[in-house]
Structure 1
Amino acid sequence: MTYRIPSLNGLKAFEAAARHLSFKAAAAELGVTAGAVSQQVKRLEMSLGISLFRRLPQGLLLTREGAAYLPDVSRAFDVLTDATEMVAPALNGRKLSLGVDPLVADRLPNGWPRHSKELEPYVRETRVTDDVELIWSNELDALLLAAKTRHGSLSERAIRLNGIAAALYFVTRPGLAECRQSRAILDALES
């Protein structure tokens, strides 16, 4: 059987840009430039023969076709992730090491994340630090920071602690930005 699917890189660029409604934020997550994401999406649109976004001065807006396409593309990546984790269970079982900025640690519940049973499968250790170099040296997988700063190709996501506007930033390598472990940590913080 021949599958009629467009470039997976184009689909990844579209899915990330659609979630963030920003080529720049998608680029930070994927570890590429905003121009590369824009070009991948443009090639995807050309191969499909439709526009997926309206490009506005203040950001992106999904077209009707883009909004209809996004849920199935996201679901397809979830299916691929599940299939990969079934044949390579070590990927699913891997726990992240998490650094927490001292300024952030004061805002978290005492003992977080150890007190959270739902995070037990996802977090191996927590260390109080704000040293981004520990991600580059693979000593940490992710870092919660109190202030937004530029971290090169690392993914940086602003988060709201327990639904309250707070200047917290989740920093990790792009490949870990959307993994189950990262999503579980972010969900626990934002709920």
Structure 2
Amino acid sequence: MTYRFPSLNGLKAFEATARHQSFKAAAAEHGVTPGAVSQQVKRLEASLGISLFLRLPQGLLLTKEGDAYLSEISWAFDLLTDATAAVAPALNGRKLSVGISECPIAHLPKGWPRHSKALLAYIRETRISEYVELIWSNELDELLLDRQTRHKNLSEHEVVARHGSHAFFFFTRSGLANCRQTRAIIDELSR
């Protein structure tokens, strides 16, 4: 069987750019220049015959088609990651940097996230912060706050603490909202 799909490098560039909402951050992740990532995404768009991003003065915004494509590409990358983990379990996926404001800390299990072996595979570091702007500067991937806050293009997920007594809000870029790491963190927070 012959598989027909665009360049894998183009797909990786698109997925990383969509997750970070930034050519620069995607380039840093892949160890190439932002111009190289931008060109890979442009070639992908040309091969598909659609625009995946709106390029605005204030940054990138996924088009409707780009958003739909991202969910499918992310799913496919999850399958590839699972297949790779099955034959090479020592190969770790990307770990995330998570910020936590002070209020939620009191409602998390002692030593969170180190209390969970499963989370150790997904979280690189945690630090106390309540600044959503650190997501935009790529200093944090995700942030757990005790309040809602509206920020453009961020995914917001309400998390109810273990005993249902407190609700917190988990923020991340839309491209990370459905990745395996984020799903595992939110599932653990909701237990």
Shift of 1:188: 5.5
Shift of 1:121: 2.7
Q: Write the mapping of 1:107-186 to structure 2, written as runs, cut at 5 A.
A: 108-109=105-106, 111-113=110-112, 116=115, 119-123=116-120, 142-145=124-127, 156-164=139-147, 184=184
* TM-score after normalising by structure 1: 0.58
Distance 1:77 1:12, change over 3 A: same
Q: What amino acid sits opposite 1:157 in the alignment?
A: L
User: Quick one: distance in 2 between partners of 1:114 and 1:16?
Assistant: 25
User: Quick one: distance in 1 between partners of 2:37 and 2:23?
Assistant: 6
Kindly provide the CA deviation profile for residues 85-143 of structure 1, in whole angstroms up to 9, marking residues without a partner as x: 11223346x9x8x9999xx8998447322674xx223428xxxxxxxxxxxxxxxx933
Contact kept in structure 2, 1:159 and 1:190, CA below 8 Å: no
Deviates more, 1:179-188 or 1:79-88: 179-188
Shift of 1:12: 1.0
Distance 1:162 1:5, change over 3 A: same
Taking only the aligned residue pairs, the percentage that are identical comes to 59
1:46 corresponding residue in structure 2: 46
3-state SS, counterpart of residue 89 of structure 1: coil
Q: Write the mapping of 1:78-89 to structure 2, written as runs, cut at 5 A.
A: 78-89=78-89
User: Quick one: distance in 2 between partners of 1:157 and 1:60?
Assistant: 19
- Unaligned stretches of 5+ residues in structure 1: 125-140, 149-154, 166-177
Q: What amino acid sits opposite 1:160 in the alignment?
A: L
User: Quick one: distance in 2 between partners of 1:112 and 1:164?
Assistant: 22
Q: What amino acid sits opposite 1:161 in the alignment?
A: L
Distance 1:189 1:161, change over 3 A: farther
Kindly provide the CA deviation profile for residues 6-26 of structure 1, in whole angstroms up to 9, marking residues without a partner as x: 111110111121223222232
1:3 corresponding residue in structure 2: 3
Residues paired across the two proteins, number: 152
